[in-house]
Amino acid sequence: MRQSGIILLASFLFLISLPKLSVQDAEAIFTQATKNLVSGDIEMDMEVKTTDSKGRVKEKGFKVLVANFGDVEKMKVSWQKPERAKGTTIIITTTPNEIGVIEVYTPSNGKVRKLKATEENMKLVGSEFSMINMKMGDPKELLFTYLKSEVLNGKDCHIIDVKSKSKDATDLSKGRLWIETQSYKIVQIKVYDDKGKHITLVELSNFKPIAGIANKIQPMKMVSRDINKNKITSINILKISKPIGVSEADFVFPQRGNL
Amino acid sequence: MNSPHWIIKYRLGIIIFFSSITILSLLLFPKLKINPDLDSYVPDDMENKIHLQQLDSIFGGSEMLLLMFQGEDVLNTKTFNRFQSIINQLDTLNGVARCISPFDAKDILFQDGFMTMNPLFEVFPDNKNDILKLKTKIQNNKLASSFFVDDYSVVSLIIIKESTISDALLIEGVNRVIDNNPGSEEVIMGGQPFVRYAISGSIEEDIIYLLPIALILMVSILFFAFKEWKGVYMPFLIVIMSMILSFGVMALLGWHISLITILLPIMLIAIANDYGIHLIARYQELIQLDKEQNMKVVCQSIYHDLKRPIIITALTTIGGVLGLLTHTMIPAAQLGILAAIGIAFSLLLSIWFLPALLSYHKPSKAVRERDKTKLSSTDKWLNKFSFWVTTYPKRIVFISIIIAIIGAFGLFFIKVDTNIEGYFLGKSEVSKGIKLINNKFGGSQFISVLFSGDVLDPELLARMESYEEILLADKAVGTVSSPVTLIKELSKGFYDENEAGYNQIPDSGDEIYQLIEIFAMGGNEETVEQFIDFNYENSRMLISLTDGSNIEGKRIVKKINELMKNEPNLQYITGSCLTKIELADMVVIGQIKSLLLAIIIIFVLLSLIFKSFKAGLISALPLSMAILLLFGLMGYLNIAIDVATALLSSIMIGVGIDYTIHFLWRFKKEFARGNDHKTAAHISLTTTGRGIIFNALSVIIGFLALTLSNFAPLRFFGALVVLSIATCLLSALILVPSIVIWMKPKFLEKK
């Protein structure tokens, strides 16, 4: 069982980081759908509202910064809300053909802990999405299947299955996507685990153009439903843009020099 | 009797009517359900039940099933592989929320400036040295070591049960997984879902095996008594038909078969055949007196002769069992209603259905021609009773009072225990699992303490830690889990071993929050939510008890209350252990209330029937003495009052009062015929006494079947009922006649 938020982020990052694919219809539709989405370096502010099965609500706020420095990809997730968690930060550095590094910073004690970005450790820091993202990023590891077209919320949609070929594929081993035939917006994703059980439903809406990035749109609202736990996670992207003048110094903790 | 009585005139209609009701009731049987859950015995408005439900809504269900693998040394590749395969299959099993096992334990190391968190059991070592190293690692890892016993003869895993699945479905699924993975280790199951499942299975087994045994024994004793099949099958048929109707009503009302309502058929065997037996005894008496009598006339006569005493005995018995309505324990009150319905039906069957059916038969030739001069062993006993009663009435009353006083002293030693773990006998699988959990894994019964407010406040956590230490020093406490354990473990990941802060509660609430936040984000929300709720507003301390008895449970609850009396964040103390204690109090209060009500009902009814308070007193007094003797004996023999034995007094009243009424009724009749007190007592004892003895014997022998039960309380119950009926029998045949002869009450002399 994984957190809905993680799955939602995973789905989201999966979409924005897809490489150019070059196979038949399903792949072509998929490529068309993703080419307008933001990819590469981004920064955003988001609010995550989680409602559990008993109706209790928890709200969190994050700043996310993703940047590539040559082959090295860095991602920083900083807590903005609630007040007690403010400043808590995770930085994940991934390098091709190398095991990456996860750094966890807790401002209350000024401690930074480093972990190797093994799949196991990625789960420990809640960053499983990044590992899946990397695996799914390789077109040789993906299988595409066109299923049918269907009307969803009054709009015609293509339905496509995207599946990892990897035997090690974990929870997100299959995603079923609903892509609007006219606009090529991905409006719904069903996530299945490796046993074929439907575990999450993600709905994407409120697509908006991204300031400073031409011809790019972004779903500003994503709602994920954890089917098993009856938990709803709603992500509202408050601000998204291409970072200007981002450098490696932006991925350094304030106390780093003291480590 | 020129025109035939309506019972004879409409006999076929009567038979069809009662048979139809029985068949309709039988059709409702598929709706019957078994409910072994002890918590459901407690009314919904009980404080602890409300608290438990609140706790469940805050932290989610926390029902656990334990699997323990026992072998010589479980740290070997074969066991490891079997264990892992079972866990993998259990993870996908329907109803399993998750499995917690030593495989979840992480080996946290600092190597080359990096913290590593590898699974402790990633690769199982293949040589002795590495196995020894692994044993050291396990010993140093609190999370892993809790799954092993010290000598590595047992390894366990915990299955968290989804609240939506039934115990039976889950356990059957788990058993399938175990069967699919055979091995040399013995797999022992434990935990409350398994205990409930075992109780449910045993209830079914008891119904399937004990009931027929009880009925066969009853039939045998009836044949031995009456020496003709009419005397056997008719009372037997009445018992069966009453049972069917009662269970049909149970199904109709949507009530469940519980450990208490399982006593319903047993009660009906004891009570419902009573009236039929007296009718058969009277029929045999009549055909012996007049060998030429027509069967229809005999049937009319037995109806006329016994209608009133049977109605009176049935009414008093119904009054007695309705005393159970005062019980706060829901199934006890249900039992009272169902037994009353069954008895009422058996009354109607006895006075209408039995004569109607009997009228189709011919009188037994063997009975008619029985040599009256040759005394049977029953007659010999009755003559002895008659001799003692008529010769030494005062002495008998005096001795009875002394026995009752001695018995009353035993009440001071009586104890109450409602621990379901004690229901199973020493060698049973359940008992084995319970012992292993209690001795090696800290116990399977829990007390929860709920704290509210700023639950991440380091001061509160420090106080919780001190409570934990004090409680752990008590031998009855197995384990104490709280957010403190989790937070201290988390601190190990952020501080070096030699650094201040390692394995300690952090100084600020913010730091605690951040550690938990990071941990929860890694898919560990469920682990956190076992102790701290979703919004960090409530936290709980979970205390397991190695001794599930009420005495120890009460002591620990008292200790917790004293320890935390000034705790500002304390909300309440709750747990299934407290339900059990509340249940024990309910059993005692219910017992006293139902006893008093039953005796009052009987006293009032008999006073009205005989138009004399003395009649009420004479009838209720021997019964009260028998009850004192029974409970006193339980005190002396260290037999606890539990959910089953708590119902003894009601059965005793139901059965015991009948014997007294039958005797008094016959005595009155014989006295009215001009006999003196001694002669009337002698005739009553040697005629009606015969029916009373046959009735008591059939009940005693029937109840002996209970001593074969799967449950210890039912075994004791069986033995104690035998003793109670024997006491009631002796009261009715010795004490009551003695009082009557000695005191010569006027109400028996009225025409």
Q: Taking 80 as the threshold, does the pLDDT of residue B723 lie above it? A: yes
Q: Taking 90 as the threshold, does the pLDDT of residue B706 lie above it? A: no
pLDDT (tens digit per residue) in A155-200? 999 999 888 766 554 445 678 999 999 888 889 999 887 667 788 8
Q: Which residues of B touch A109 (CB under 8 A)?
A: 494, 501, 506, 511, 514
Q: Report the alpha-carbon distance of residue B4 to residue B276 in Å, rounded.
A: 22
Structure-token pair, residue B721: 């009922």
Closest approach of A59 to chain B, Cα-based (Å): 10
**Residue spans of alpha helices (H) in B28-74:** 47-59
What are the two backbone dihedrals, phi and then psi, of residue B425, each rounded to the nearest 5 degrees?
Answer: -85, 155
**In chain B, % of residues over pLDDT 90:** 19
- Does A55 touch chain B if contact means CB atoms closer than 8 Å? no
pLDDT of residue B62: 59
Closest approach of A168 to chain B, Cα-based (Å): 15
Angle CA(B350)–CA(B355)–CA(B359) in degrees, nearest 5? 155
CB distance B49 to B37 below 8 Å: no
Closest CA to B186 of B151, B141, B156, B148: B156
Closest CA to A211 of A184, A244, A259: A244
Structure-token pair, residue B623: 């019964």
- Does A124 touch chain B if contact means CB atoms closer than 8 Å? yes
In the structure, what pLDDT confidence band is assigned to residue B237 with cuts at 50, 70 and 90? very high
Q: Which residues of A touch B525 (CB under 8 A)?
A: 3
- Does A107 touch chain B if contact means CB atoms closer than 8 Å? yes
Closest CA to B147 of B400, B436, B510: B436
Angle CA(A208)–CA(A210)–CA(A215) in degrees, nearest 5? 90
Residue B687 Cα to chain centre, angstroms: 38
Higher per-residue confidence, B81 vs B200: B81
pLDDT (tens digit per residue) in A38-63? 777 888 899 989 888 778 888 889 99
Q: Taking 90 as the threshold, does the pLDDT of residue B61 lie above it? A: no
Q: Enumerate the β-bridge partners of residue B109.
A: B116
pLDDT (tens digit per residue) in B509-557? 999 998 888 877 766 677 787 788 888 889 999 898 887 777 888 899 9
Structure-token pair, residue B343: 């008895």
CB distance B194 to B430 below 8 Å: yes
Closest approach of A65 to chain B, Cα-based (Å): 18
Q: Which residues of B touch A103 (CB under 8 A)?
A: none
**Matching residue, tokens 């919320």:** A153
Length, in residues, of chain A: 259
Closest approach of A20 to chain B, Cα-based (Å): 31
- Does A126 touch chain B if contact means CB atoms closer than 8 Å? yes
Closest approach of A247 to chain B, Cα-based (Å): 25
Cβ-based neighbours of B601, under 8 Å, separated by 6 or more: B316, B319, B320, B322, B323
Q: Taking 90 as the threshold, does the pLDDT of residue B450 lie above it? A: yes
Q: Which residues of A touch B92 (CB under 8 A)?
A: 195
Q: Taking 60 as the threshold, does the pLDDT of residue A129 lie above it? A: no
**Secondary structure string (H, E, C) spanning B319-368:** HHHHHHHHCCCHHHHHHHHHHHHHHHHHHHHHHHHHHHHHCCCCCCHHHH
Do residue B494 and residue A111 have CB atoms under 8 angstroms apart? yes
**Residues of B (465-494) whose Cβ lies below 8 Å from A:** 493-494
- Does A113 touch chain B if contact means CB atoms closer than 8 Å? yes
C-alpha distances in angstroms, B25 versus B18, B30, B31, B195, B250?
11, 10, 11, 31, 10
Instruction: Find the helix packing angle between B167-180 and B77-91, rounded to 10°.
Output: 140
Q: Taking 60 as the threshold, does the pLDDT of residue A257 lie above it? A: no
pLDDT of residue B479: 83
pLDDT of residue B468: 92
The arithmetic mean of pLDDT across residues A220-224, rounded, is 90
Q: Report the alpha-carbon distance of residue B243 to residue B246 in Å, rounded.
A: 5
B385-397 in b/e form (b: 16+ CB < 10 A) is: bbebbbebbeebb
Closest approach of B600 to chain A, Cα-based (Å): 50
**Which of B517, B527, B537 is the mutation pick for testing A, counting most A CBs within 10 A?**
B517
In the structure, what pLDDT confidence band is assigned to residue A131 with cuts at 50, 70 and 90? very low
- Compare CB distances from A56 to B518, B525, B534 and report the shortest one's residue: B534
pLDDT (tens digit per residue) in B373-429? 666 777 788 888 888 888 899 999 999 889 888 888 888 887 777 666 666 666 677
pLDDT (tens digit per residue) in B270-317? 788 888 888 998 888 888 877 777 888 889 888 888 888 889 888 888
- Compare CB distances from B92 to A101, A111, A195 and report the shortest one's residue: A195
CB distance B379 to B686 below 8 Å: yes
Structure-token pair, residue B576: 């299934």
For A87, the closest chain B residue by CA position comes to: B514
- Does A259 touch chain B if contact means CB atoms closer than 8 Å? no
- The strand order across the sheet containing B477-481 reads B477-481, B538-545, B445-452, B570-574
pLDDT of residue B196: 79
**Which of B53, B518, B526, B536 is the mutation pick for testing A, counting most A CBs within 10 A?**
B518
- Does B535 touch chain A if contact means CB atoms closer than 8 Å? yes
Residue type, B614: K
pLDDT of residue B720: 82
Closest approach of B627 to chain A, Cα-based (Å): 51
What are the two backbone dihedrals, phi and then psi, of residue B117, each rounded to the nearest 5 degrees?
Answer: -130, 80
Closest approach of B97 to chain A, Cα-based (Å): 9
Do residue B495 and residue A85 have CB atoms under 8 angstroms apart? no
Q: Enumerate the β-bridge partners of residue A74.
A: A67, A93
pLDDT of residue B411: 84
The number of C-beta contacts closer than 8 angstroms across A and B is 81
C-alpha gyration radius of chain A = 18
Q: Which residues of B touch A79 (CB under 8 A)?
A: 517
Closest CA to B280 of B658, B667, B4, B694: B694
Q: Report the alpha-carbon distance of residue B626 to residue B618 in Å, rounded.
A: 13
The arithmetic mean of pLDDT across residues B155-174, rounded, is 83
3-state DSSP: chain B helix, strand, coil percent, rounded to 5? 65, 10, 25
Cβ-based neighbours of A55, under 8 Å, separated by 6 or more: none
- Does B526 touch chain A if contact means CB atoms closer than 8 Å? yes
For B506, the closest chain A residue by CA position comes to: A109
pTM assigned to the model? 0.70
Q: Report the alpha-carbon distance of residue A83 to residue B198 in Å, rounded.
A: 50
Closest CA to B301 of B313, B286, B288: B286
